[in-house]
Each structure stands twice: as structure tokens, then as C-alpha cells.
Amino acid sequence: MKTTIADIAKIAEVAKSTVSRYLNGGSVSNATRKKLDQVIQETGYSPNTFAQSLKAKKTNMIGAIVPRLDSFSASQSVTSLDEELRAHGYQLLIVNTSQDLSREIEAIYDLARQKISGIILFATQITEAHMTAFEQIKIPVILLGQQHKEVHSMIYDDYSAGYEIGKYVLQQGHREIAYLGVTEQDIAVGVKRKQGFQEAVRQKQDVHVDFYESGFKMSDAVVSASSILDKDKPSIIVCATDNIALGVMKAAYMRGIHIPEQLSVTGFGGYDITEVIHPSLTTVKYGYSTAGKLAAKNIMRLVSDKEVEPLTVMGCDLLIRESVDKI
Amino acid sequence: MKTTIADIAKIAEVAKSTVSRYLNGGSVSNATRKKLDQVIQETGYSPNTFAQSLKAKKTNMIGAIVPRLDSFSASQSVTSLDEELRAHGYQLLIVNTSQDLSREIEAIYDLARQKISGIILFATQITEAHMTAFEQIKIPVILLGQQHKEVHSMIYDDYSAGYEIGKYVLQQGHREIAYLGVTEQDIAVGVKRKQGFQEAVRQKQDVHVDFYESGFKMSDAVVSASSILDKDKPSIIVCATDNIALGVMKAAYMRGIHIPEQLSVTGFGGYDITEVIHPSLTTVKYGYSTAGKLAAKNIMRLVSDKEVEPLTVMGCDLLIRESVDKI
DNA sequence: CTGAAAGCGCTTACAG
DNA sequence: CTGAAAGCGCTTACAG
């Protein structure tokens, strides 16, 4: 039998409103406080969150909409987001959309219906439907990983990351380059990284770059890399993500090509695994944990009606390791 | 302005109860159905979930308590759990405990307070406190990954997995073996896998096995492996998890030891990455996705008061790849 | 400091 | 098939 505020009011011989006040830190006389302390102790009372939310018309919940959980970047960011939020009394509700854009839209409305206080969207593409949803729900939203001028956004400095990788690769003497990117639908990963890379190339003479496109999965990359290696002889394959780089390395091994002696490889991301493999992967480290934590701080500010910069740009660090040869 | 059931009742000129019935699939005349269809359409009405739950005294939410999100096994299982649940109209609420056992207990009570319908606990250890919590909350619980006689449990056949690995390793001619395990606090990973392995060894003559213990992290394994290789010359290191195996491989590379020519390595788990690295890792594949899906089915049955086997044992498959040499 | 009362948005018998 | 009414458990002005 669940005890309610009415039960404990009766036992303690006070009014329900007094109990409520006590519970919410309002002023109560010492005598009643004592009594209430005890009664609540004994009954093991705990408030019904629905009734609370129904009245208060809000919750302490923050929603995170994530395209997938089983990726290094997502799990890192979500974990730190969750920890930071919980440390401040918020609860994180994670919605996995399995990379289905329409589910993303559904999730936005769904979360709003559940009176979530704020939303963090791990964004890949921002469509019209997204914007419509944001306008309708009137709940603070933060975009993580992509930017849009009308929404609070947190992005990595993908352009610089691409530029840094490009500069380093050229410095190491590479002139025959294959760039294995992803769809341009993804502005951050597909466009910005490539643009930064291209800028580095532009500043150098006699460089030849072929651009290719792959899916995000390792297995996609294995296929793409194989077809590149079939017809081309680049000294390096610059990959738009660590996952793709891993796939390329696999493809190389499968044909007996040694890395980095016969083929150099780079990635973007800085996944843990890239340090452990052999040779370790030269890549750009993205601060996924830091981003999650910062996203938490920002959404909490927005929820409390405090100011937040419309755009936060997070830096990245070039990680020079073993997968690139000097030629 | 949020529209409520009262608003739409007024607009459609019917009673609130009629609207509610309409919403919940009760019998309504064709005329009123038409009208309601339209009004709800126009107003974009969506029900307040708190009010619903307050009355109904339950939710369509299932809670998952997870020690960490950033592991292959957890993210795989959670993803499929989530998908299966959503396909049946349930929502998954994920609670990350950051491997803190006391947070796990808190989470159990927390979820109960939120009137969650069922709980899936990604278990590592089951303590007294857990059992007390389970009894108090009176909500269906499923343990995933560990077993307890008083709770519905789903486990992998760790004993057989250990046995299979052992049999294979011996078959390949290995006689000087280092077994790198984990704490025995973890019955499944620390005890069962080792016991299965030992059983295989017992059936063979002249085998020498040294048992060591490592933490779960790759970096822990690098250290443990280094100290093993310093003083010992096993022909193989059998590791209790893929993560540990990855760490061992790293340690070997760092000292210029070739795998598998100079040292063989095996793991448990079947993480995706183990197929991509070079040499690919011989390991036992655990069906994390299948497990998640099955856990979803089981908890839904329990929530609907249907019978579920107290113990579900899930099989594993030996994956023979490149990291073990025949000697 | 304390209590009575209204109300949050919905559902559920109970009549009609 | 439809409606009036009570109630889920809590909070919030408003008096006292």
C-alpha cells in the first residue's frame, strides 16, 4: 500500500498542505518538523513524481536525442552529459533514433509531451521538420555536433581539424593523396573537414588529391578502400573518421599492404581504440567527454533562463602517431 | 497555450469522458468520431502523460540500469533492448551508474518512484542491498549477465565459453599458458569463464597454466601483460575479455613481440573491433544484441503477468581467427 | 506557522 | 453511445 501525502498528514495530525510545505522546504514549526521527520521516516514515504509534475508543469528531466548509442563519440558524450546533469539534480532521458531522421522528429515532440525541460540533439542533419518542431515545442534545445543559426549550437572545429591534418600530411611529404570522405549532407563531417583539408592543400604546389566517398561503417570503408587501392596508388588515405580509417587499415592488411611503410592512413575522432591498435593511428582528437559536460552546463543555464552563447566552438588536437610515414 | 481534453471537449461539443473514450479506443458513434478526429487534428492535441500516469498508476516505461554506456557489450545490448521495447510501445529509461554499486541501489528505488513498469539490471555483482531493494519495490526485475536464484536472470554460458576456448587452445598445441582473468567478485566473467577453462585443462596432460588478474580496462591489461611477459614465457595469453586481449596485444607490440608467431592471444566477447584489427582476434562471440532483444521480450511478459523462465542461458560461439598459432 | 479549498489533466465506474 | 461526477496525489494562493 503506497503512502500518500494524505496518509502522512493524517498520521502526523496536520494538513496536507503543511506536509507539502515541509517537503518543499517551506517554513514549518520545529514541533511539526520533528513529527513529520519521524512519520516520513517510518512510512518510507516518497512523493509521486507524476502528481508533482502535473501540478508543477515541469520536470527535472533533460532529453538527449542520439542517432546511435553504439559509437565511441556518442557513448562518451552521453556518459559525461549524464554525469554532469545528475550531479546537478537533473535526470537524463536518452532517446535512440537508430539514425532515422523521422524518428528524431517524433522524439522531439515526444519529449515535449513528457514535459522535459530541455533537449540536447546529437545532430547529423537539420531539416525543415526539425526547425518546425523546435518552434512548436517551445523548449530549450541545444544542437551538438552541427550548427544552425536559429538554435543554440555546439560544434567541433572541423574546419581547423581538417586543415591541421592536411598541413601535417603535406609536411610529411605526401603528394599523392586519396581523401575518403562521407556524404555532404553531414555538414560537419562531410563538408567542413574536407574544406579545411582542401585549404591546406591549396597552399602547396604539386599535390594531387582524389576525393572519394564512403559510408560511416567500417565495413563500408573496407569496400571503398579496396576499390581505391585497386585502381590507384596513393601514398596516403586521409579518412573523414577513425572508423573509416580502421576499415582502410583492414583493407590494406587484407591485401598485404604494410602500414605505414607502403600506405599511410589518418583519421578524425581520437577513439580510444586507435591508440591500442598497431600501428597506432594518427588522427585528430575530439573532446567528446568535455563536450558532453559543456552541453550539460549549457542546457541547465537555458532551462534556468540564463544566457548562453548561440555558438560554442570546441577545439581539437592533432595526435601524431605511427600510421603516417615520412616520405 | 496547451490544449487539454477539456478544450477539445468544448470545441467538439461533447463531454470530456467521451473524448477520453475516443482516445483510448472505446466505442464512439461515427458522427462524434469524425468530429473528434478533426478537432484533434486541428488543435494538435497531445495528452499529458503525467495526468495519464497519475490515474493509471503505471507507465509504459522500462528502466535499464547500466554500469557504463561506453562499452561494446552495454551499447549493443541497450540499443537492441531499446528498439524491441519501442516497437511494442514501451519507452526505455536508461540509468548509467558509472560502475558505482551504491548508485545502482539508488537507481532501483528511483525508478520505482517513477512508476516504471519493469527493470532490467545489467548486473555485475548482486549484493544484499540489491535483494532488499527488489523486495521492497515490487516491480518485475530481470538480471542480465549474472544470476541469482530469487530473481529472473539471463546469463551467457560463460562456463562453456571458457571450456571451448580452453579446448581449442590445447588443440593448437599450447602447453605453457598464462590466463589473464578478472576479479572473482564478478561471477560470470571472473569465475565461470575461468572454471570452464580449467575443466578443459584438467582433461589434458602436461599443461602448465599460470593465473593472473587484471582490471577491466585496456590500460590495466597493458600493465598486467607487461609484467607477465617480463618474467614468463607463455606461448599464449588467454584473456577473460576482448578488452584485456586488446591490451595484451598492445603490450606485445610495444616490446616487438609478434602475434601470433611469438605469442598467441585469445579473448571473450566478440567485439566488432576484434575482427578489424590485425591479426584478428580469436575469441568467443556473445550475442549482445540478441540478449537485449530477449530481455525486452521477457520484461514485457513479466509486466503483463505472464510466465518467464527464471533462468535463461544464452549460448556463445567460438570465433577462430588469426591470433592463435598452431605449435 | 497552519489549514481548507481549488485545481493540474486525465480516467473510470455509474447512470441514462 | 454519451455525460456528470469523483478521484488520482500533489501544489498553491488565500485566509487566519
What CATH code is carried by the domain that includes residue A87? Answer: 3.40.50.2300
The model's pLDDT over B161-216, given as tens digits with 9 standing for 90+, comes to 999 999 999 999 999 999 999 999 999 999 999 999 999 999 999 999 999 999 99
Answer yes or no: do B166 and B262 share one domain.
Answer: yes
A166 pLDDT more than 80:
yes
With an 8 Å Cβ cutoff, are A69 and B78 in contact? Answer: yes
Answer yes or no: do B41 and B181 share one domain.
Answer: no
The model's pLDDT over A176-232, given as tens digits with 9 standing for 90+, comes to 999 999 999 999 999 999 999 999 999 999 999 999 999 999 999 999 999 999 988
Share of chain B above pLDDT 70, in %: 99
Residues near A109 by Cβ (< 8 Å), separated by ≥ 6? A133, A136, A137, B46
Answer yes or no: do B150 and B296 share one domain.
Answer: yes
Over residues A143-150, mean pLDDT: 96
The model's pLDDT over A214-229, given as tens digits with 9 standing for 90+, comes to 999 999 999 999 999 9
Answer yes or no: do A214 and A197 share one domain.
Answer: yes
Residues 35-94 of A with CB under 7 A from strand D: 47-48, 51-52, 54-56
* Number of domains present in the structure of chain B: 3
Answer yes or no: do A137 and A80 share one domain.
Answer: yes
Residue A242 belongs to a domain: yes
Residue A9 belongs to a domain: yes
Strand intervals (E) in chain A:
61-66, 91-96, 118-122, 141-144, 152-156, 176-181, 208-213, 236-239, 264-266, 283-286, 311-314, 316-319
CA atom of A56 to C1′ atom of C15, Å: 35
Over residues B58-73, mean pLDDT: 90
Answer yes or no: do B202 and B222 share one domain.
Answer: yes
Distance CA A109, CA A134 (A): 9
Answer yes or no: do B103 and B119 share one domain.
Answer: yes
3-state secondary structure B169-206: HHHCCCCEEEEEECCCCCHHHHHHHHHHHHHHHHCCCC
Q: Using CB atoms, which residue from A72, A96, A114 is nearest to B49?
A: A114
Question: Which bases in strand D are touched by protein, i.e. have an atom under 7 Å from a CB?
Answer: 1-13
Over residues B17-24, mean pLDDT: 85
Residue B325 belongs to a domain: no
Over residues A289-298, mean pLDDT: 97
B27 pLDDT more than 80:
no
Distance CA B239, CA B214 (A): 9
Contacts of A76 in chain B (CB under 8 A): 70
Answer yes or no: do A26 and A121 share one domain.
Answer: no
Residue B118 belongs to a domain: yes
Work out how many CB contacts closer than 8 A connect A with B: 94
With an 8 Å Cβ cutoff, are A70 and B72 in contact? Answer: yes
Answer yes or no: do B100 and B179 share one domain.
Answer: no
Q: What is the pTM of this model?
A: 0.87
Q: Using CB atoms, which residue from B96, B114, B277 is nearest to A49?
A: B114
Residue B323 belongs to a domain: no
CATH number of the domain bearing residue B36: 1.10.260.40
The model's pLDDT over B91-144, given as tens digits with 9 standing for 90+, comes to 899 999 999 999 999 999 888 888 888 999 999 999 999 999 999 888 899 999
Mode of pairing for the β-strands spanning A283-286 and A316-319: antiparallel
* CA distances to A96, A155, B126 from A122, in Å: 10, 10, 34
With an 8 Å Cβ cutoff, are B49 and A115 in contact? Answer: yes
Residue B320 belongs to a domain: no
B269 DSSP β-pair partners: B285
Answer yes or no: do A200 and A90 share one domain.
Answer: no
Boundaries of domain holding A150: 61-156+288-314
Q: Give SS3 for A192.
A: helix
CB atoms near residue A303 (< 10 Å): 17
pLDDT averaged over every residue in chain A: 92
CA atom of A219 to C1′ atom of D9, Å: 53
Residue type, position A265, single letter = V
Answer yes or no: do A297 and A229 share one domain.
Answer: no
With an 8 Å Cβ cutoff, are B47 and A114 in contact? Answer: no
With an 8 Å Cβ cutoff, are A247 and B276 in contact? Answer: yes
Answer yes or no: do A213 and A278 share one domain.
Answer: yes
* Neighbour-count burial of B301, counting CB atoms closer than 10 A to its CB (0-12 exposed, 13-18 middle, 19+ buried): middle
Q: Which residue of B has its CA nearest to A69?
A: B75
Residue A54 belongs to a domain: no
The pair phi, psi for residue B50, each rounded to 5°, is: -70, -45
Over residues A274-280, mean pLDDT: 92
Residue A93 belongs to a domain: yes
